[in-house]
Amino acid sequence: MIILNGGSSSGKSGIVRCLQAVLPNPWLAFGCDSFVDALPARMQESDAGIAVAADGGVSVGADFLALEAAWREGVVAMVRAGARVIIDDVFLGGAASQQRWQKALGEVGEAGVLWVGVRCESAVAAGREVARGDRVRGMAAAQADVVHEGVVYDLEVDTSRTESLVCAQAIAARVHDGEDPARRTPSTAHVPARPTTAP
């Protein structure tokens, strides 16, 4: 299992698509956006569900958290059943969000999860946010740093000036079929912003 964490417009979705292309075996991809899209419409702007403020701030309520916990358990069940899964998430709670995943993962987390931080300079993410036009302005800047607070990674990549494919190749290099990603030597090194040689 690979869990990517990064703020809105940090480039996670592009990395996920590239990972699915470069990894030799089929990997399923699930993300927080698809989970939110699956919620009833009434929960997408309510105190009990998820609400986005005019400045891009995101708040979630009790019903959202309960359904998210069930979704997380379902994803882990697929991994236990033998599926390879990539998660694209936004840890709004920083370390607390990672801990919720760790609780759901249980022994799966001990055996084979690669934690990846996807960083992007706030100004760059904000520019992407404007270009894509499907996010409330301010969300990217608000999430750029807070989602990483207290989170422990095996690998970090920075998409500010590095293409999704290069980031995906760096991640894929840490994932080998038949070998648990979590047993590989952890690294906190960033992918260089301007790689001088092909990975």
Catalytic (active-site) positions = 33
Task: Give the Cβ contact number of residue 181 at 10 Å.
Answer: 19
Q: Could you give phi then psi for residue 136, rounded to 5 degrees?
A: -70, 130
Element (H, E) at 29: strand 28-31
Quote the CA–CA distance of 69 and 56 in Å, as a whole number. Answer: 24
Element (H, E) at 13: helix 12-22
Task: Give the Cβ contact number of residue 172 at 10 Å.
Answer: 18
Per DSSP, 168 falls in state H
Quote the CA–CA distance of 122 and 142 in Å, as a whole number. Answer: 8
Please name the amino acid found at residue 92. Answer: L
Strands 85-89 and 114-119: unpaired
Q: Is 82 left (phi over 0), alpha (psi -120 to 50) or beta?
A: left
